[in-house]
Structure 1
Amino acid sequence: MRRMAFFGYGYSAAALRRRLEPAGWRFLATARSPEKQAQAEAEGVEARLWAEADLDEMLGERSAVLVSAAPGAGGVDPVLARWGEALGRRAERVGWLGYLSTTSVYGDWGGQWVDEDSELRAVSARGRARIAAEEAWLELGARRGLPVHVFRLSGIYGPGRGPFEKLRSGRSVTAVKPGQVFGRIHADDIALALSASLLKPRPGRVYNATDDHPCPPEEAIAAAARLLGRAPPPEVPVEEAGLTEMGREFYADNKRVSNARIKKELGICWAYPSYREGFAAILAQEAADSAMGRLL
């Protein structure tokens, strides 16, 4: 199995593509716009516009499938709505299917630890939509023999997607809520987990993909500022931070998410067990890219 079909080709999918590419994998993805299609193809991924994509072409004779498209209007999972039953009818052509969910499904636990067997307490529309999508994918897998795996991701970061851009702009503030903690996951560690699952599939399994160090957001931001040699941005109460609706929902949930299952069952150790290693690696890569650019 050396063919990956991406239903949604974004930041995490690109990280998986980079990890699998040296092993000779072929990639085909859906894209929502001509611009996204061109971007995917520039990275060596065959891409088809969403409205024109053909499922038989996407799957070929046998493929792995990664679903990273988020629920859309009305909380409807777009891939399930368009192709769910058709995928079920082609289950023999799907060697592995990963659905990327989020740890928002747990809702608020007041900072307590949760694992994959914990009650799902999400109350936001986005969180409830994710719960419904997870359940629908797992039900489809059980009913049609589709090898579905669910990955609940914490806050995703990595090159080009982290605290440094905001800090360099000088316009950021740090929203503070007493007792609040967040988990994070580097994009390369998401790719590590997905590639490990490809090698050790367990259809129907749910995994948390999160780092070892859930912590207050102000701790991570202050550390990033120190790496840049800057003063950390001002801290303001979360109610005064001017957060978006999504940001307010993010702060409404407070939990520590266990990653014990994914480490034990897939036999992995994170490359970036906390923001400390992850942030340092991002800056090191920036420096290397800058030096290469000067040489070219």
Structure 2
Amino acid sequence: MGCGDIGRRVGRLYQNEGVKAIGWVRGEESLRLGLEQGLAMRKGDVDQGSFFPIFALDEALVYWFMPPQPTGETDDRIRRFLKGVDAAPQRVVLISTTGVYGDCEGRWIDESEPLKPAAARAKRRADAENTVQEWAARFGGEIVILRVPGIYAPDRLPLERLQRGEPVLRAEEAPWTNRIHADDLALICKRAMEAAPAGAVYNATDGHPSTMTDYFNTVADYAGLPRPPQVSMEEAQMSMSAGMLSYLQESRRIRNDKLLTELGIRLQYPSLAAGLGMLEGQDSD
């Protein structure tokens, strides 16, 4: 559900095993890309109450990758979906966000950290977590929650922003951020579906955070572009979008020990430099 880039990557893992995967989308471009990959695609708009027939989801394994609607503090899409399908799915793997932790002032945290989402987008994701947990308790379905940070891959980098020369925060003021390579996230999703205990929650990060300024500098170096200019927080408040400023007001470093040990995940790309091919021979140890 919400078969965009990550959905297609997960679908490819199943295709490689000869297993049928169905992608649900609402946009023509996503539909086209899924069909070109050879996935069985369906098109519909959950906002308009459009679902799979319930019989088609009986005992299904559902990946919920669909983001919440862009406004409000509840995830009305997943609420509407689960109400429509009742007890049909066997297991749901939900992509949430590490934003549900709110600002941790740069501390190292793990899955035991209390949720304190501040931004509306994070509150919607926290609501989605609560919604699937309530659904599982009511119907006996299984859920796994993956709290995901920024997703990157060589084909999904902020190159246009760098080409425009948009500024970043001064290095000494920049918050800690976390990330995961898109291919590693796809592997994590599939492993969570297959092996995670019901009700489990994992931080799906690479465990190697850096500051947001470091991130943009590394991507610029990788792409052969000039590093972005740096501004103070005071200057940023006058020149950056409200969305970007909201990210700059939260800082956390997130552990992934539980992911690696409990699911036995071995990351292909355990750092940004490794994910961009800027290091040779680095592994997840």
Write out aligned runs for 1:237-256 (5 A).
237-241=232-236, 242-256=239-253
Residue matched to 1:119: 114
Residue matched to 1:271: 268
Q: Provide TM-score, normalisation by structure 1.
A: 0.83
Structure 1 position 56 matched with structure 2 position 54: yes
Distance 1:118 1:69 in 2: 25
Q: Structure 2 stretches of 5 or more lacking a match?
A: 279-285
Write out aligned runs for 1:1-296 (5 A).
7-45=1-39, 46-50=41-45, 51=48, 52-56=50-54, 58-59=56-57, 61-72=58-69, 73-90=71-88, 94-167=89-162, 169-176=163-170, 178=173, 180-241=175-236, 242-280=239-277
Do the aligned partners of 2:95 and 2:147 also contact (CA within 8 Å) in 1? yes
Give the deviation of 1:84 after TM superposition: 0.9
Do the aligned partners of 2:142 and 2:198 also contact (CA within 8 Å) in 1? yes
Give the deviation of 1:184 after TM superposition: 0.6
Give the deviation of 1:64 after TM superposition: 1.4
Do the aligned partners of 1:156 and 1:185 also contact (CA within 8 Å) in 2? yes
Give the deviation of 1:246 after TM superposition: 2.2
- CA 197–163 in structure 1, closer or farther in 2 if over 3 Å, else same: same
Amino acid at match of 1:54: F
Give the deviation of 1:230 after TM superposition: 4.1
Distance 1:69 1:166 in 2: 25
**3-state DSSP of counterpart to 2:116:** coil
Distance 2:246 2:56 in 1: 35
Do the aligned partners of 1:69 and 1:78 also contact (CA within 8 Å) in 2? no
Q: Structure 1 stretches of 5 or more lacking a match?
A: 1-6, 282-296
Corresponding residue pairs, total: 271
Q: Provide TM-score, normalisation by structure 2.
A: 0.86
| Coordinate RMSD, CA, aligned | 2.3
Structure showing the higher helix proportion among its residues: 1
Do the aligned partners of 2:178 and 2:208 also contact (CA within 8 Å) in 1? yes
Work out the percentage of aligned pairs sharing the same amino acid.
29
Residue matched to 2:281: none
Give the deviation of 1:267 after TM superposition: 0.3
**3-state DSSP of counterpart to 1:207:** strand
Amino acid at match of 1:24: G
Distance 2:60 2:82 in 1: 16
Do the aligned partners of 1:98 and 1:151 also contact (CA within 8 Å) in 2? yes
Give the deviation of 1:85 after TM superposition: 3.0
